[in-house]
Amino acid sequence: MKPPNISYKEITIQQLKAWNWSTERYEVYELPWYLKLYLYPTIWTIKGAVEAAIRQLERTK
């Protein structure tokens, strides 16, 4: 059984949803503070880069 697709909008940054193979459902794990410090900038940077790329593509049409 494959984990169902989950869109990134459904995952809050505060909580990471992880697929639990034994119960076959998503369980929410609170991220430790040091991981949050590391992940926040990374997530926002990737998000910004993706949005900029999309805007660039729309302009070149």
pLDDT tens digits, 37-57: 777 777 778 788 888 888 888
26 within 8 A of 19, measured Cβ to Cβ: yes
pLDDT band at 22 (very low <50, low <70, confident <90, very high): low
CA distance 28 to 12: 10
39 within 8 A of 13, measured Cβ to Cβ: yes
- Please report, for residues 11, 16, 61, the alpha-carbon distance to residue 54 in angstroms, rounded to integers and kept in the order given: 22, 26, 11
Q: pTM value?
A: 0.34
Beta bridge partners of 6: none
- What is the number of H-type helices and E-type strands within the chain? 1, 2
